[in-house]
Chain A
Amino acid sequence: MSILEIKNITKSFGSLVANDNISLSLDAGEILALLGENGAGKTTLMNILFGHYTADKGSISIDGELLPPGSTEAAIKAGVGMVHQHFTLADNLSVLDNIILGTENLFAWRQDLSGARAKLEKMAEEFGLAVKPDILVGELSVGERQRVEILKVLYRDARVLILDEPTAVLTPQETEGLFATLKKLTDKGLGVIFISHKLNEILAISNRVAVLRRGAITGIVKTVDADRAMLAEMMVGHKVTRPRLEAAAAGAVVLQLSGVSVSGNTPTPLLNNIDLEVCAHEIVGVAGVAGNGQSALASLLSGLTRPASGTVELHGEALGEVTPNLMVSLGVGRIPEDRHASGVVGEMAVWENLISETLKSSEISHGRFWIKKPDALKRTEQLIEQYDVRCEGPLQQTKLLSGGNMQKLILARALSSDPSFILANQPVRGLDEGAIAYVQTQLLAARQRGAGILLISEDLDELMSLCDKLVVMYHGELSAPFVPKQKTVQEIGLMMAGHRPETGQEAAYAN
């Protein structure tokens, strides 16, 4: 029996067709996975369902009743609940406040707080989602915030629960907890739409999989009949193989951090007394849940922040006052976390972004004052060709490039000077499979050439497959390095949640 019926939904943004004639149905007690790459139209479809966007064509019905388009209120009333990828919670307000917003008559003279509290406690018990109602949301961990989001939906008696990339911010253990919750919800007859691009999770949790590519459904299959390779091909449109790490002997030490601390505007330091060593011909991966100090580490190595204590050595020489300029001149290639915010200046042309790190070289400028524009353009054309940046040419505005091509531009800038150390912070985040394979191949090629690479990522699979060594970051501290194959995903997951293998391992396993 289907509770949700999506029929022929089409939605365009300008010339981009985000959803092309999509039809889907969801049964009660079922988990339907919506699989697709970034930009395939998953989130757009869900935003239409939830009334954030209005579809150009098509209809949505719940229990056979048509849903009026473009009304979040109507969608909520009909029983649709959505847990957004970026949580829609207010940090400075309590859990209870966040949950009851919008559930009462807006112009009532008083709130029924005790009734709300009782209902919340009953629900929390029923679904095993324990929360403290009066704590501020800002004090909760990411996993707990997600629990609040789910409770918020359940509080409004939702029957269709949409989860948009719910595991992106969770440790492997928290993900298992979420999956257990979802099972309980479907047992009670809720229908769940689970949006993801992680194949193993989809195979683990869903009953059916709908695959989206470029706004259109490329297939709907039962999960029991599906496997990884098949889903990947449906998602990408062709066979994709990611590059593999080939054995290489590590060379001399390129980067050495000893006892480095970085303090921020917080009571605890952002980086606390960390030691780290990266050698030539080596990729060292930094695993960890976002927000545990990765950004501080990246800022430090990009020359944006200075250590409060400890030493940073490049090729055995201690760095004093670090600046971005110094790092570039010492041969550090930097791939920043957020392409749009700190990678490129979107308003400026491709060539301007490409030469921005080499402005002082005599190849590009006369005495640092005058840019030799013809030479700069020629150089840009070479790099565009070499790194396969798909654009109209050097003069195109950079913000018009797709994510993958923007990342290729950044790669071209960072790697063309043949850096001896490369800081790659989330280099494949938000890219499609083809671009991911390209970026990873380039990093591996740089490693072959002798660069030492520090790869920061939240994707454990990526780290396991690309890195010679791994360290885990938790609350600004780094674990001892280890070879990825020597630990299981579960063990690393525990380390990401703060367990130290020396002390907490057995206790954690006992749970």
Chain B
Amino acid sequence: MDLIEIFLTTGFWAATIRIVSPLIFATLGELICERAGVLNLGIEGIMTIGAMAGWMWVYQGGDLWTGVMFAALVGGTFGLVHSIFTVYLGLSQHVTGIGVTMFASSLSYFIYRMMLPDATTPPKIIPFQTYPIPGLSELPIVGEAVFTQTPMTYLALLCVPIVWYMLYRTPVGLAVRMAGENPVAVEAQGIDVLAIRTGAVVVGSGLMAVGGAFITMSAFDAFFFGMINGRGWIAIALVVFASWRPGKALLGAVLFAGLEAFQVRAQQVAGASILPYQFYLMLPYLLSIVAMVIMARRARYPKALLVPYRRGERV
């Protein structure tokens, strides 16, 4: 099989869509936070605890969908922690975010060990199953690639237009975008900047946690250490790549996921073994950096990103 032929297989596209799902949740979540002016470096940890919380809910006998909701709730709580420090106290978003990531991931492992002290091999749950959409799944190629996935993937894809609509077509979305551009303008129109920013960070963090939950509840069936594996950081890069736009975020996520799916298959292609397999592992990240450099040069980032807003301060 040639390297080019990989792109013609349905399996490649199906894998791309599977890999992209958690990235979509995470990228949209980060995008909402940053649109409101708050960088959320807590994303990696929030995804980890979302993965653990959702999985644990189901493992303890809960139902899958309530597990997703529980993960979102836990993620939102950590978003609230992040915003208390960065929005209300105006502390460094970088430092707080890294702190949230370290705290949330360590806490996930801690709770997991506390609750399952004797588990040697990771215990499993019955995850979301593929649900072919009647009719649409009969279509050639897209039928299998897009419409024969788990319900969480459909939810991820659905989130793109929903987030777009919320940001661009509702009053609260306008307030969020304005809070990230010029918080003084928001205040001058009689809207509470801190509440808007906090709301955005909580909702965004909830989405990130759902992205984490996808990994333990849809992609796999178990929770183990280090399984988020940098997906949060990739999401942060994708937000920049997307110039803070939901549609472009989907495009960027698909591009990255496609590279990821490609590299797994490329390793197995005969003749590709002239290069060590680590090269293929590196490929998605390398090309992401190249794409970032090209895209980010033209990016118009939210002007008040990283700038804390303090009410009543002389401007």
Binding site for B on A (CB under 8 A): 52-53, 71-73, 75-77, 82, 84, 86, 88-93, 97-98, 100-111, 152
Asked if B188 and A82 sit within 8 Å, CB to CB, the answer is: yes
Asked if A76 and B190 sit within 8 Å, CB to CB, the answer is: yes
Residue in contact with A92 in the complex, picked from B175, B187, B189, B300, CB distance below 8 Å: B300
**Chain A residue with the shortest CB-CB distance to B196:** A106
Asked if B190 and A93 sit within 8 Å, CB to CB, the answer is: no
In the complex where A53-B312, A90-B185, A93-B177 touch, is A102 in contact with B190 (Cβ < 8 A)?
yes
Task: Give the residues in chain B near A111, CB-CB below 8 Å.
Answer: 169-171, 174
Q: Does B113 contact A (CB under 8 A)?
A: no
Which secondary structure characterizes the binding site on chain B?
A: helix
Instruction: Report the minimum CB–CB distance from B118 to chain A (whole Å).
Output: 48
Q: Does B36 contact A (CB under 8 A)?
A: no
Binding site for A on B (CB under 8 A): 169-172, 174-175, 177-178, 181-182, 184-191, 300, 302-303, 312, 315
**Chain B residue with the shortest CB-CB distance to A76:** B190
Asked if B169 and A92 sit within 8 Å, CB to CB, the answer is: no
Whole-angstrom distance between the alpha carbons of A102 and B171 in the complex?
7
Asked if A107 and B174 sit within 8 Å, CB to CB, the answer is: no
In the complex where A72-B190, A107-B171, A111-B170 touch, is A92 in contact with B185 (Cβ < 8 A)?
no
In the complex where A72-B188, A88-B184, A111-B170 touch, is A102 in contact with B303 (Cβ < 8 A)?
no
**Chain A residue with the shortest CB-CB distance to B182:** A90
Instruction: Report the minimum CB–CB distance from B312 to chain A (whole Å).
Output: 6
Whole-angstrom distance between the alpha carbons of A65 and B174 in the complex?
32
Question: Could you list 22 A-B pairs, sorted by A, with CB under 8 Å?
Answer: A52-B312, A72-B187, A72-B188, A72-B190, A73-B190, A84-B184, A86-B184, A88-B187, A89-B182, A90-B185, A91-B181, A91-B182, A91-B303, A93-B181, A97-B177, A100-B174, A101-B185, A101-B189, A107-B171, A110-B169, A111-B170, A111-B174
Other A-B pairs beyond A82-B188, A86-B184, A98-B178, 17, CB < 8 Å:
A72-B189, A76-B189, A88-B187, A92-B181, A93-B178, A93-B181, A100-B174, A101-B171, A101-B186, A101-B189, A102-B186, A104-B171, A106-B171, A107-B171, A108-B171, A110-B169, A110-B170
Instruction: Report the minimum CB–CB distance from A138 to chain B (whole Å).
Output: 9
Whole-angstrom distance between the alpha carbons of A97 and B181 in the complex?
12
Task: Give the residues in chain B near A104, CB-CB below 8 Å.
Answer: 171
Task: Give the residues in chain B near A77, CB-CB below 8 Å.
Answer: 190
Asked if B170 and A84 sit within 8 Å, CB to CB, the answer is: no
In the complex where A106-B191, A108-B170, A111-B169 touch, is A88 in contact with B303 (Cβ < 8 A)?
no
Asked if A105 and B171 sit within 8 Å, CB to CB, the answer is: yes
**Chain B residue with the shortest CB-CB distance to A113:** B169
**Chain A residue with the shortest CB-CB distance to B179:** A90
Asked if A109 and B175 sit within 8 Å, CB to CB, the answer is: no
In the complex where A52-B312, A106-B175, A108-B171 touch, is A90 in contact with B188 (Cβ < 8 A)?
no
Task: Give the residues in chain B near A86, CB-CB below 8 Å.
Answer: 184, 315
Whole-angstrom distance between the alpha carbons of A77 and B312 in the complex?
19
Whole-angstrom distance between the alpha carbons of A97 and B302 in the complex?
15
Whole-angstrom distance between the alpha carbons of A82 and B188 in the complex?
8
Most buried by B among A76, A90, A97, A108: A90
Task: Give the residues in chain A near B312, CB-CB below 8 Å.
Answer: 52-53
Instruction: Report the minimum CB–CB distance from A151 to chain B (whole Å).
Output: 13
Task: Give the residues in chain B near A98, CB-CB below 8 Å.
Answer: 178, 185
Task: Give the residues in chain B near A100, CB-CB below 8 Å.
Answer: 171, 174
**Chain B residue with the shortest CB-CB distance to A99:** B189
Task: Give the residues in chain B near A52, CB-CB below 8 Å.
Answer: 187, 312
Instruction: Report the minimum CB–CB distance from A303 to chain B (whole Å).
Output: 29
Task: Give the residues in chain A near B300, CB-CB below 8 Å.
Answer: 92
Task: Give the residues in chain A near B170, CB-CB below 8 Å.
Answer: 108-111
Task: Give the residues in chain A near B190, CB-CB below 8 Å.
Answer: 71-73, 75-77, 102
Asked if A92 and B303 sit within 8 Å, CB to CB, the answer is: yes
Task: Give the residues in chain B near A108, CB-CB below 8 Å.
Answer: 170-171
Asked if B181 and A90 sit within 8 Å, CB to CB, the answer is: yes
Task: Give the residues in chain A near B169, CB-CB below 8 Å.
Answer: 110-111
Asked if B191 and A102 sit within 8 Å, CB to CB, the answer is: yes
**6 closest pairs, A vs B, by CB?**
A102-B189, A90-B181, A73-B190, A88-B185, A88-B188, A104-B171
In the complex where A52-B312, A82-B188, A90-B303 touch, is A101 in contact with B182 (Cβ < 8 A)?
no
Residue in contact with A101 in the complex, picked from B191, B302, B315, CB distance below 8 Å: B191
Task: Give the residues in chain B near A89, CB-CB below 8 Å.
Answer: 182, 185
Instruction: Report the minimum CB–CB distance from A143 to chain B (whole Å).
Output: 19
Whole-angstrom distance between the alpha carbons of A90 and B305 in the complex?
13
Whole-angstrom distance between the alpha carbons of A94 and B294 in the complex?
26
Most buried by B among A52, A98, A102, A110: A102
Whole-angstrom distance between the alpha carbons of A284 and B116 in the complex?
80
Most buried by A among B171, B175, B186, B191: B171
Asked if A101 and B175 sit within 8 Å, CB to CB, the answer is: yes
Task: Give the residues in chain B near A110, CB-CB below 8 Å.
Answer: 169-170
Task: Give the residues in chain B near A109, CB-CB below 8 Å.
Answer: 170
Whole-angstrom distance between the alpha carbons of A106 and B178 in the complex?
13
Instruction: Report the minimum CB–CB distance from B311 to chain A (whole Å).
Output: 8
**Chain B residue with the shortest CB-CB distance to A71:** B190
Task: Give the residues in chain A near B172, CB-CB below 8 Å.
Answer: 106-107
Instruction: Report the minimum CB–CB distance from B137 to chain A (whole Å).
Output: 31
Whole-angstrom distance between the alpha carbons of A103 and B172 in the complex?
11
Instruction: Report the minimum CB–CB distance from B149 to chain A (whole Å).
Output: 28
Whole-angstrom distance between the alpha carbons of A93 and B185 in the complex?
11
Most buried by B among A82, A88, A105: A88
Instruction: Report the minimum CB–CB distance from B163 to chain A (whole Å).
Output: 14
Most buried by A among B170, B300, B303: B170
Whole-angstrom distance between the alpha carbons of A104 and B184 in the complex?
18
Whole-angstrom distance between the alpha carbons of A338 and B228 in the complex?
48
Task: Give the residues in chain B near A76, CB-CB below 8 Å.
Answer: 189-190
**Chain A residue with the shortest CB-CB distance to B185:** A88
Instruction: Report the minimum CB–CB distance from B169 to chain A (whole Å).
Output: 6
Task: Give the residues in chain B near A73, CB-CB below 8 Å.
Answer: 190-191
Whole-angstrom distance between the alpha carbons of A77 and B186 in the complex?
15
Whole-angstrom distance between the alpha carbons of A97 and B184 in the complex?
15
Instruction: Report the minimum CB–CB distance from A47 to chain B (whole Å).
Output: 8
**Chain B residue with the shortest CB-CB distance to A54:** B312
Task: Give the residues in chain B near A152, CB-CB below 8 Å.
Answer: 189
Instruction: Report the minimum CB–CB distance from B32 to chain A (whole Å).
Output: 16
